[in-house]
Amino acid sequence: MLPAPILRSPEDIPVRILHILDHSLPLHSGYTFRTAAILREQRALGWETFHLTTPKQGFSAATEEEADGLLFHRTPAPNGAGLVSQMRLTAARLDELVGTLRPDVVHAHSPVLNVLPALWVARRRGLPVVYEMRASWEDAAVDHGTTTEGSLRYRVSRALESFALHRADQVTTICEGLRGDITVRGVAADKVTVIPNAVDADSFRFGAQADAALRQQLGLEGCTVIGFAGSFYGYEGLSLLVSALARLVERFPAVRLLLVGGGVQEAALRAQAQEQGVAERVVFTGRVPHAEVQRYYELIDVLAYPRLPIRLTELVTPLKPLEAMAQGRMFVASDVGGHRELVRHGETGFLFEAGKVDALADAITAVLENRAQWPAIRAQARAFVERERTWKNSVARYREVYRRALASRGRDMTLAEAR
């Protein structure tokens, strides 16, 4: 028989939370940056956090690894392990950690492959489970090209996702679009809490001047620079941006496109630029260290986020526009649902009709030709993130989530700062 969990009294706060993650630092992605921000803010609230990654993290010779001051417990990642084997390995490692760390709450983050082992283990241990759905597994699979919408695999994936959402004690998600998708599945609305993406505004330099040496190194002196920084996935719509560049050349002879990052679309983008006669105007930097990305942002006159209109982009809000607002960068973004939830058109940024090359080119042109508006837009955008989209404000929402999760198991939660 498994030992009963140690349920401490309110006087024993801080609450102890065991997070289960697909991957973490030192890997860099929007997923890992969101995770790190959450963990740091939760610790600032006086909570104890522990962190387990699944085999998706990749091979690690050690069972623990420190990154940016955070300790991550690793799960073995044998070569060729299928999804079921990966979940079993995660469950075994989780069970081991629950026995030694004695958490109060198990908090599993997307994908659903993380929450299923959490449910297996936590139910046996008498612990509540919070599931944070950052994107639905079925839509992520479509984006990665491993299935198509409506296929058998898609339907099975959606069924598993819905199963987990119904059985978690509390559900969190990153935006209203995903909240709507969750409640459509029959999950009670009062069980779902939005913990929106945010930024640490103080970590971004507002309106900083461009690095002259870097500008010269990239051949951008005297140029009007349109740019994008991130991973080159198909849904980002970067092919539209290359086509828009070809339309902008006549009006802005010194225009250049700066693409910071890399990914599966890079070869196709290079070939497209060559075919459309703008190859000499497109600068590919390759991937750059995260700490250096802001130097590249500061070279860009107008950032562009031309995400294509698919289920994933309609439902999920990205981090990039918030980062642009924090820096006071001018940007245009397609009017997919994830962007509309973030961007106030004409106030903090500019939206254009998704999937339309001419609409993208026209939006960039309008921004470039109205530079007198820039100071006001920049100030409004920065004020928006400082007021509404800080990690401190977002993470504070977990208080009620954990209180409800613990209450479902007969526990009261008293925060350390309320003692």
Confidence of residue 290 (pLDDT cuts 50, 70, 90): confident
Domain 201-388 CATH assignment equals 3.40.50.410? no
At residue 181, the pLDDT reads 95
Instruction: Give the mean pLDDT of 233-260.
Output: 97
Confidence of residue 150 (pLDDT cuts 50, 70, 90): confident
- Given this chain, do its domains 16-198+390-408 and 201-388 carry the same CATH topology? yes
Confidence of residue 14 (pLDDT cuts 50, 70, 90): confident
Instruction: Give the mean pLDDT of 250-264.
Output: 96
> For 96-131, what is each residue's pLDDT tens digit?
999 999 999 999 999 999 999 999 999 999 999 999
At residue 7, the pLDDT reads 42
At residue 4, the pLDDT reads 40
At residue 11, the pLDDT reads 40
> For 180-238, what is each residue's pLDDT tens digit?
999 999 999 999 999 999 999 888 989 888 999 999 999 999 999 999 999 999 999 99
**pLDDT > 70? residue 23:** yes
At residue 154, the pLDDT reads 85
Does the global pTM surpass 0.85? yes
- Where along the chain do its domains lie? 16-198+390-408, 201-388
**pLDDT > 50? residue 295:** yes
> For 367-409, what is each residue's pLDDT tens digit?
999 999 999 999 999 999 999 999 999 999 999 999 999 999 9
**pLDDT > 60? residue 416:** no
The domain 16-198+390-408: what is its CATH number? 3.40.50.2000
At residue 142, the pLDDT reads 74
Average pLDDT over all residues of the chain: 92
3-state secondary structure the chain: CCCCCCCCCHHHCCCEEEEEECCCCCCCCHHHHHHHHHHHHHHHCCCEEEEEECHHHCCCCCCEEEECCEEEECCCCCCCCCHHHHHHHHHHHHHHHHHHHCCCEEEEECCHHHHHHHHHHHHHHCCCEEEEECCCHHHHHHHCCCCCCCCHHHHHHHHHHHHHHHHCCEEEECCHHHHHHHHHCCCCHHHEEECCCCECHHHCCCCCCCCHHHHHHCCCCCCEEEEEEEECCHHHCHHHHHHHHHHHCCCCCCEEEEEEEECCCHHHHHHHHHHCCCHHHEEEEECCCHHHHHHHHCCCCEEEECCCCCHHHHHCCCCHHHHHHHHCCEEEEECCHHHHCCCCECCCEEEECCCCHHHHHHHHHHHHCCHHHHHHHHHHHHHHHHHHCEHHHHHHCHHHHHHHHHHCCCCCCCCHHHC
Instruction: Give the mean pLDDT of 2-24.
Output: 67
